[in-house]
Amino acid sequence: MKKILFPLMAFAIIVGCNEKSATEDRVPILLNSGVAELTKAPVENGTSATVRIEGWETNAGVPDFTATSTWQSSAAVKVQDNPAAITLVPTQYYHASSDYDTYIMGWYPVVEAANGVLTFKGDATEDIMVSNTVFGDKDDQIDEALTFTHLTSQLRFLVKKDGTADEGLTIKSIVLNGASAPLTVTIPDGLVESVQEFENGLNVPDIKESEILADVAQAGGAVLISPVDNNTDITLDITIGLPEGGEYVYEDVAFTTLDGKLAAGTAYDITMTFKQKEIVLTANIVPWNESEGSVDIF
């Protein structure tokens, strides 16, 4: 079964400028954005997210990205299919001399860069994205798109039961074993420098104990974790409440995905079907990119 999760993909920002400046020879940097899909834990289609965009001015080739940027701005980017104008806050300008290039890149969520490193929460709630770098000057203005790419894989958990399962089962918690989340990322290359490990497992957030019904329902919020090449590196501990009272824990439950991995920029719907004495898991990748995974639970 294919479910549409919060659609998520890369997005582009196109940098241009006016032919004439409003003040002296200052040429403002104007931005258009085309955001097909974007999230931070997660931002839904049709809403906006705020990205960080910074510029480094140089007359000596590629700048030192470990140094503080010349300017820092933010921009509200709407999740939509077609490019639309966005506003840098505050407005930025190309250098008055065409001998100076302005190098521009961005990232999401908004954090401060320090010595060329971005530090995030590392709690698996952030849709971390970093763009490529573009550059130009007031006479040779930038027309290349800034493309932001996701560094995490997103998982959402869905539960249901079939006709053989007892009435009154409840979902209490889901814990991921073997997962990590990006903690620090270097710029301008957008490489993950360090990750946050979860020694006691990563709890799926916001699970409210509720009965498992025949109709599929989401259990808790999405998690955004470091990609893995083999999805079997991640297992689940699933705690259910029993009709007669007490609870039962299914430990180290494996699930499968269509692509056999948990890929960056891909959102997976993991469907857990509870049967008599068994869990059946299925997984679906939903845009960002699409796939699926599953497990049956008996």
Over residues 36-42, the mean pLDDT reads: 44
Query: What pairing do the DSSP bridges indicate for beta strands 247-253 and 235-241?
Result: antiparallel
Over residues 40-66, the mean pLDDT reads: 80
d(CA 185, CA 57): 22
**Could you tell me what percentage of the chain is helix, strand and coil, using 3-state DSSP and rounding each to the nearest 5?**
0, 50, 50
d(CA 9, CA 36): 6
Averaged pLDDT score across all residues of the chain: 82
Lowest mean pLDDT among 86-90, 113-117, 177-181, 206-210: 86-90
- pLDDT digits 0-9 by tens, 215-232: 999 999 999 999 999 999
The DSSP output letter for 46 is: T
Structure tokens at 236: 């689940």
pTM for the whole thing?
0.82
The torsion angles phi and psi of 103, rounded to 5 degrees, stand at -95, 130
Residue ranges of the alpha helices (H) in 79-214? none
Residue 205: is the preceding peptide bond cis (ω within 30°)? Answer: no
Nearest to 178 by CA among 289, 275, 97, 252: 252
Structure tokens at 74: 């933010």
239 with 210: CB under 8 angstroms?
Answer: no
Confidence of residue 77 (pLDDT cuts 50, 70, 90): confident
DSSP string for residues in 198-264: -TT-EEPTT---EE--SS-EE-S--EEE--BS-GGG-EEEEEEE-TTSSEEEEEEE--EETTSSB-T
More confident residue, 145 or 110: 110
d(CA 214, CA 107): 41
d(CA 269, CA 62): 42
- pLDDT digits 0-9 by tens, 115-141: 999 999 999 999 998 988 989 999 998
Number of residues assigned to the chain: 298
More confident residue, 66 or 143: 66
